[in-house]
Structure 1
Amino acid sequence: MSFRLIISAALALMASSAQAQGSAPAISYTRDIQPIFTEKCVACHACYDSACQLNLGSGEGAARGASKMPVYDGERSQAAPTTRLFYDAFGKAAWQQKGFHSVLDAQDSQAALMARMLELGHSTPLVPNAKLPEEIVLGLNRQNMCPLPGEFAAYAGAHPTEGMPLAVTGLTDQQYQTLQRWLASGAPIDEQSLAPSAKEALQVQQWEDLLNQPGARESLVARWLYEHLYLAHIYFEGGESGHFFQWVRSRTPSGQPIDLINTRRPNDDPGTQVYYRLWPVQGVIVHKTHITYPFGAEKMARVKSLFYSGDWQVAALPGYGPGRRANPFETFEAIPAKARYQFMLDNAEYFVRTFIRGPVCRGQIATDVIRDNFWTLFQDPDHDLYVTDARYRGQATPLLAMPGQNDDVGSVLSLWLAYRDKRNQYEALRRDNYADLPTPDWSSLWMGNDNALLSIFRHFDSASVTKGLVGEVPQTMWLFDYPLLERTYYQLAVNFDVFGNVSHQAQTRLYFDLIRNGAEQNFLRLMPADSREGFLDDWYQNSGKVKLWLDYEAIDDDKPTGLTLQDGDPKRDFARQLLARSGPLNASPDPINRCISAYCSRPGIDPALRYAEQALSRLTSRPAAGLKVIEQLPEATMLRIETRGGKREVYSLLRNRAHSNVAFMLGEAYRYQPGLDTVTIYPGVLSSYPNFIFNIPAEDVPEFVADMELARDAKGFERIVERWGIRRSNPRFWHYFHDLSQYIRETRPVEEGVLDMNRYENL
């Protein structure tokens, strides 16, 4: 008998003997197992990029098991079947019909696959605090092996140090024994679905009543609202901590169990009468998909005021299909444009999050269309021609259709050219019509609430967004108007199919390039006319000039700006004036990166942290040519600063890579300008995917900074890692990793979620 079988038999015997003697209670999945998964497994096994699609954030996911089919595949010629947990099937048998295999069941006298994977990991612990062996491949480049139960022996022979949890400090002895006892006893799952509280149930009913009112106007508004909120994790005023809800389409009305309509996209034909329903988000909340949205009495009143007032009418409800998906401006043209735009502006951070943190922005090919850091602004509705001028709106609407509905691989080029030309016709129409308006000034920027100013950071193969103007004045800024914001949302969220084929994904990526260019062109109208070509030359260097000539509509370099800006550096002067004007709306004052006095720290914090921030500011606003250590840094590093008094603060240290341009889908490495890379340091966790953690006593921060300034190469940086770094093999790795989530809980409770460690580097 093999060692594994001996262990499995012994554990099974111990479990049955203990239960027979009454010396140990039966193991509960909810009480005993899910907390272990949450602590040690969910960081890699959650959402679409779960290793082998094994999602351990819920009992349903654990029972579903694993699949060899990757969700993210940019090269497949045919769209893949959808495998969304809690959407596309329910129960182990239904998932096995879709090609999943159990990791919990013992098979052919062998212990469960999970038991053997855990045993392999537990029997080959990592050397504490040591760098991992080079042969262990990590990150998005790791091949998705996903051995079936009968293939485990070959996997273990080829990868003897790659048991579970993979390449990280593993389970405690107690956790290991608990999981093995549970698996040996048949892995029973007693999980209960999350249910709303009485107060939440009342609000659920009120919102469902609102969205399911009879009438053509009411039905069109409900459809638009659903398509704009289906990704939201909604939380209620006075609701329970940790309770979130999502909009779904159901065949059944309120008061009856939800009968889910699980179409591939939220705007696909439901094929039946639709009822919009709210159901609780099940399973562990993970940060990368946790896009929050508040519901309460004030929001209800706002929605009614925007959409249910006035005398506008709907002559006939639009249908569904590729044409309706491609152009939501035509589909929803009956709804006043100002209502649609204002609704999106009210919670602009949510909408930008959907396409910056959503499925489309997983992987370098998807994110390389944007620069590593930029600020986002919004045009005031009263200065948006699409909102204010019906004639212009009628001319523009047919030109705003988006590609991706036809995924024929052989038609990618012709489809792209057709939609590029339509978009450029729109840009020419916009340019010529805006040239007839008064010159744009500060009143043309929306400053309605703290969503008005956003900062976006790209971390190579992921991205994040935060309120306020964070970091040094960036190379580019984006200015969204309504047509641009709506198209970005539909192209990258509503219409994006993460299971789609190479044609669909290429069309999405190529059109996103046009979106970025449109946002840049909008911003350039605020700059002096004679400076605009110079900015374009800076943003589109080298090969980018070819893209400017081939694919982008010419900018208006005649119409003056209404702003008074310094000639030498008008963009920096614009930023200075914007910061002065935005006042309390700028949710993120940033003295560390934009130090304008002798004090480069936030007022009112612990003196030890003030001194730490003052020291950290020496690393910001310096190019890598003068701060060589930047070349060694990952994209998103977390600094955990501890004071002697027991306080701690978390900072994100972000590497901003410079590029000659970001206009092409491939060959990004050829467009790097490493000597121009910079770092941004800001309080908070500004990434769902930490690449590394440093734990530094506050009194050590000046020495840490000095060592960073002196480090010239990998060896110099490794000495810093050895002293303050938290490697994957650190015995307290999970304490420090989950303390990042705890910090979010303390500072922004509603945003808390388990972070992803698939990108945690082996430094």
Structure 2
Amino acid sequence: MPIVRQFGTWAKIVFAAVVLVIVLSPTNIALADTKTAGVVSQPQQNWAEVKTILDRRCVVCHSCYDAPCQLKLTSPQGLLRGASKEAVYHTERLKDAQPTRLGIDAQTVPEWVRLGFFPILHTEEQSKEDSTLLEKYLNLGLEYPLSANNPVPDELGLAIDRPLVCPTSSEFGDFRNSHPLAGMPYAAAPLSENDFHVLTNWVRRGAPISSSLAEMPAEIQSQIDAWEAFLNGSDLRNRLMSRYLYEHLFLARLHFDNDDSRRFFKLVRSITPPGKAIDVVATRRPFDNPGIEQVHYRLQVIDESIVHKEHLVYTLGPDRMSRFKELFLDTDWNLFELPPYGTAEGGNPFSTFSAIPARSRYQFLLDDALFFVRSFIRGPVCHGETAVDVIEDRFWVSFLDPDADLSVTDPDFLENGAQYLELPVSDMNDGALGDLQAFSHKNQVRYIEYRDSQYRNSSIFTTGFDYSSIWDGDGANPDARITVFRHFDNASAMTGYHGAVPETAWIIDFPIFERIYYDLVAGYDVFGRVEHQLSTRLYMDELRMESEDLFLSFMPEDVRQEMHNGWYKGTLAELHTYWHRRHVDNDFPSGIEFTTPNPKKEFLVELLRNGKGLWPVSDAINRCSPGDCLQHLQDPIDQTVRGLANQRGPWVQYLPDLSILIVETEDGSSRIFSLAHDKAHTNVAFLFDEEARREPQSDVLTVIPGLFASYPNFFFNVRQEKLGDFIKETKAVQSQDEWMELVAEYGVRRTSPDFWESSDFLNTYFLDQSPIEAGILDLNRYTDPKKEDDPT
């Protein structure tokens, strides 16, 4: 969802004024206090059963920063913290909000109460005979269940930016009278009788909670000790390396080779050294001053349910440690003084870490390129809007080879150019809207001019970039080719090139890669004010264009302008390009001799052919000639589903952004397909009025076997013998009435008796498909088709 769609009228006026000005401008939570919440923190026989129900019925909506009322139910700490009336995602605030990160910003129940949270379980002051807030919500859902297989009533909003009412237990009576249908599970099929009784009986017994953590195996503890020793070396170079690693891995779910597939750790800064209980240093950003002379980097085990939308897996093991030594410690560089901390320094990682060779830093990012691209999506912008309305619905990403990147090969490039690479966070001040120049692109314009001059004075200006200028994964790393999907207000990324040849493609070099990371991840403050959120989005706009421009430099000179014009259609888009001082460089030569009339397709397909078998050249379902596809698709289900892929028609616009197709096979098993709706736009250059820039006649579906995205919008359940009919009837949809008929026959509504069964099946399937990478799917964006919601 575009960021401005969440704003009220006042905020839209402010945003419009800001944009006009720009245009005219040159866990270690202390469970010792659980007694305060009336909860006994002792192992109980049925806690595992309770946790399973919470995961399957509650965590699917109550997780991450976008949990309604900040009620995050992924861990015992979240249950004890309770709920809040303050929303994390509040795009109208003029001042930074107090962070409320679970396990970081408060450690005990009384501390959370002081930050405005209120309990959902029993407290000491509450009579055991009184119902808890959790019980009241569950009872309300039982008393007023929604009508099965019917649309959710209009009074129950489903938009993620809907106004929330977050009553305390004492306020619930009035809430119940005014919102009788708002019981839990919210706007969905009711709990089963068994699930209801398990939860309510658990609450009445005092809601006993126990940690789900198993005893740490000796071999894993040995690896933890080895890594903490490695990361806390006293040598200055070692300390700077560890700071660099922390700033890039602070969101990672660290997983040891050959460990339990569901045990993960996170890298934290602690006041205490290895061997002592972890005491996390709480700062807004990972590069903020910790306030102590020396921090200690520690590995903290994660005690919470794994939710896919924030699950960023990064593996550790002996090979990884050897690689870090090779990149950062075995290379020739010196350090005589550690760089300072702070927002200004954190806003420019190129100066902060200038002592570390650029090749080492870039190769570190490339080694796990998919992890870092996913961090742009699953990181602090968990809600999605800040970043994703600046990208196309599907595009392909590749990376400039380190040997072709002047920022890597020429030491003077970053030394002289770092001054132009400041990120927006370095310019924030304490004003209500801050310095409007913080939104400007002055540094970016200067950097582009500087970059152009450096490349024009280099040997590459004589020959131009060719295929060898694109990183090939060193013949072994599949992360060298990535597909990014946008699903309206969230996104996904996959290894390889999926779907038809897209409208746009990116090539990312080291300065682009590092700046996207610090703009969207390390430097993004989810509790920040409107200025910060806007500047983050606008700067990402710059980085998208820079990536597109680098791609164009590989194209024949005579097609670049026409290709660019196709990406930025319309008068406003032309003004946007003019204001950003973007011009298609037709002087920089291409080093490729193209042989077909479609150089974009030729170039991108050749990148796959040069991949030494790392990626398939064709996508048998979405991108190949009919004869070739049939050779590769032996399964009749795949052949049939291909009928939906990469085809235009009025029917496409009725499909949600991401649908999951469950095909029940004749042998009693199931096949799963993700149907990604690729929405076409005249351009993605603006914050406002996306619908006016839509080109629905050019929409297509990309069909991906299995699950890959975090937020399904709708489920279809089809028997194999009916699959052909489903494909035919889907492509025959011409109106909202016909769409509703399709939904009635094959769809799984939120109120369907099969809704939870389908959700459970998919989460189990996902875990079987990807035991380490899988996580609970989020249902906050699950749609509810209605007759009046005609997309035309």
Fold agreement, TM-score > 0.5: yes
- TM-score scaled by structure 1? 0.93
CA contact (8 A) 2:424 2:439 kept: yes
Does the 8 A contact of 1:28 with 1:190 survive in 2?
no
Which of 134, 140, 154 is the equivalent residue of 1:120?
140
| CA 78–26 in structure 1, closer or farther in 2 if over 3 Å, else same | closer
SS of the equivalent of 1:518 reads: helix
Aligned residue runs from structure 1 range 173-252, under 5 A: 173-191=193-211, 193=213, 196-252=216-272
CA distance in 2, matches of 1:348, 1:204: 25
Partner SS for 1:234: strand
Deviations 1:111-132 (A, max 9, x none): 1111111000011223222222
Decide whether the 8 Å contact of 2:395 with 2:483 is kept in 1: yes
Offset of residue 194 of structure 1: 5.3
In 1, Cα distance between equivalents of 2:80 and 2:602: 58
Aligned to 2:100: 83
Flag the 1:409–1:584 CA change in 2: closer, same or farther, 3 A.
farther
Taking the aligned partners of 2:723 and 2:455, their CA distance within structure 1 comes to 51
- Per-residue CA deviations over 1:561-602 (Å, capped at 9, x if unaligned) read 111224632112212322322252226952111022325368
Structure 2 residue 641 is the aligned partner of structure 1 residue 616 = yes
Q: Among the aligned pairs, what percent are the same residue?
A: 39
Q: Where does 1:309-348 land on structure 2 (aligned, <5 Å)? A: 309-348=330-369
| 1:684-737 C-alpha deviation (Å, 9 max, x unpaired) | 213100000111112221111110111101111111111111111222222211
* Structure 2 counterpart of 1:251, one-letter code: I
Structure 2 residue 515 is matched with structure 1 residue 487: yes
State the shift of 1:513 in Å: 0.3
- Give the equivalent residue in structure 2 for 1:443: 468
1:578 matched to 2:617? The reply is no
Distance, in Å, in 2 between the alignment partners of 1:395 and 1:26 is 60
Is the deviation greater in 71-80 or in 399-408?
399-408
**CA deviation map 1:279-319 (0-9, x unaligned):** 11111000001010111111111111111103311021101
- In the alignment, residue 36 of structure 1 is paired with which amino acid? I
Alpha carbons 2:622, 2:646 under 8 Å: kept? yes
In the alignment, does 2:494 pair up with 1:471?
Answer: no
Question: In structure 2, what is the Cα distance between the partners aligned to 1:336 and 1:26?
Answer: 50
CA–CA distance in structure 1, aligned partners of residues 581 and 376 of structure 2 = 22
In structure 2, what is the Cα distance between the partners aligned to 1:370 and 1:544?
14
Aligned to 2:597: 568
1:264 aligned counterpart, secondary structure: coil
User: What is the CA–CA distance in structure 2 between the aligned matches of 1:102 and 1:468, rounded to whole Å?
Assistant: 46
Task: Report if the CA contact (8 A) 2:212-2:303 is conserved.
Answer: no
Which residue, 579, 583, 592 being the options, matches 1:554? 583
Which residue is equivalent to 1:19? none
Per-residue CA deviation, residues 439-494 of structure 1 (Å, 9 max, x unaligned), is 11010000111000000000011001011100111110010100100000011000
Task: Give yes or no for the alignment of 1:738 onto 2:767.
Answer: no
Deviates more, 1:242-251 or 1:384-393: 384-393
1:365-406 deviation per Cα after TM superposition (whole angstroms, max 9, x unaligned): 531101100000001111110000012222221111111241
Report the equivalent of 1:350. 371
Counterpart residue number, 1:410: 433
Match of 1:707 in 2: 729
Inter-CA distance 361–433: structure 2 relative to 1 (3 Å threshold): farther
Indicate the SS of the match to 1:140: coil
What is aligned with 1:17? none
Bigger drift between 707-716 and 136-145 goes to: 136-145
Counterparts in 2 of 1:346-745, with a 5 A limit? 346-360=367-381, 362-405=383-426, 406-407=428-429, 408-417=431-440, 420-435=441-456, 436=458, 437=460, 438-448=463-473, 449-542=477-570, 543-566=572-595, 568-586=597-615, 590-598=619-627, 600=629, 603=632, 610-623=635-648, 627-745=649-767
Q: Secondary structure at the match of 2:160?
A: helix
Superposed CA offset, 1:534-560 (max 9, x none): 111111111111110001433321122
Is 1:111 paired with 2:127? no
Q: Does 1:62 align with 2:79?
A: yes
Q: Supply the distance in 2 between the matched residues of 1:670 and 1:495 (Cα, whole angstroms).
A: 32
Q: Does 1:160 align with 2:180?
A: yes
- Hey, what's the Cα distance between the residues in 1 that align with 2:214 and 2:617? 35
Asked if the contact 1:40/1:170 (under 8 Å) is kept, the reply is no
The alpha carbon displacement at 1:188 in A equals: 2.7
Number of the residue aligned with 2:287:
267
Contact 1:29 1:191 in 2 (8 A): no
Q: Counterpart of 1:40? A: 57
Contact 1:601 / 1:613 at 8 angstroms: preserved in 2? no
**1:193 to partner: Cα distance:** 4.6
Deviations 1:181-211 (A, max 9, x none): 2222322323355553222111111111111
Give the Cα–Cα distance (whole angstroms) in 2 for the partners of residues 59 and 538 of structure 1: 51
Q: For residues 105 and 602 of structure 1, do their structure 2 counterparts lie closer, same or farther at Cα, with a shift above 3 Å needed?
A: farther
- Give me the whole-angstrom Cα distance separating, in 2, the residues matched to 1:194 and 1:276: 23
State whether residues 452 and 585 of structure 1, in contact with CA within 8 Å, keep that contact through their aligned partners in structure 2: no
Deviation at residue 678 of structure 1 after TM alignment: 1.3
User: Following TM superposition, by how much is the alpha carbon of 1:620 offset from its aligned partner in structure 2, in angstroms?
Assistant: 2.1
> Match for residue 97 of structure 1?
114
| CA displacement at 1:51 relative to structure 2 | 0.9
Q: How far, CA to CA, are the matches of 1:31 and 1:616 in structure 2? A: 39
Distance of 2:674 and 2:737 partners within structure 1: 23
> 2 CA distance for matches of 1:193 and 1:259?
19
Relative to structure 1, is the Cα distance of residues 363 and 228 closer, same or farther in structure 2, using a 3 angstrom cutoff? closer
- Is 2:483–2:493's contact at 8 Å kept on the other side of the alignment? yes
Q: In structure 1, what residue type is equivalent to 2:548? A: E
- Counterpart of 1:139 in structure 2 is 159
Give the Cα–Cα distance (whole angstroms) in 2 for the partners of residues 96 and 566 of structure 1: 68
With normalisation by structure 2, the TM-score equals 0.89
**Matched residues in 2 for 1:338 and 1:366: separation?**
27
Retained in 1: the 8 A contact 2:311–2:378?
no
Alpha-carbon distance in 2 for matches of 1:431, 1:66? 52
Question: Secondary structure in 2 aligned to 1:248?
Answer: strand
Contact 2:95 2:528 survives alignment (8 Å): yes
Counterpart of 1:147 in structure 2: which amino acid?
P
Partner of 1:183, secondary structure, is helix
- For 2:338 and 2:145, how far apart are their aligned partners in 1? 62
State the 1:72 CA deviation. Answer: 0.6
Q: Which runs of 5+ in 1 are unaligned?
A: 1-24
Partner-residue secondary structure (3-state), 2:759: helix
Q: What is the identity, as a one-letter code, of the residue corresponding to 2:444?
A: R
Distance 1:643 1:198 in 2: 44
Q: In the alignment, is the contact (CA less than 8 A) between 2:711 and 2:778 conserved in 1?
A: yes
Q: CA, structure 1 residues 368+699, in 2 after alignment: closer, same or farther (shift >3 Å)?
A: same
Q: What code does the residue aligned with 1:442 have?
A: Y
Report the AA paired with residue 546 of structure 2. Answer: G
In the alignment, the residues of structure 1 paired with residue 379 and residue 774 of structure 2 have an alpha-carbon distance, to the nearest angstrom, of: 17
Matched letter for residue 611 of structure 1: P
Q: Secondary structure, in 3 states, of the residue corresponding to 1:751?
A: coil
SS at match of 1:359: coil
Query: Is the Cα contact below 8 Å between 1:28 and 1:189 reproduced in 2?
Result: no
Residues 30 and 191, structure 1, Cα contact 8 Å, conserved in 2: no
Residues of 1 paired with 2:333 and 2:182: CA distance? 62
The Cα shift of 1:98 comes to 1.0
Determine helix, strand or coil for the equivalent of 2:772: helix
How far apart are 1:169 and its partner, in Å? 1.7
The aligned amino acid for 2:264 is F
Give the distance between the partners of 1:588 and 1:567, measured in 2 at CA.
Answer: 17
Equivalent residue of 2:182, what SS? Answer: coil
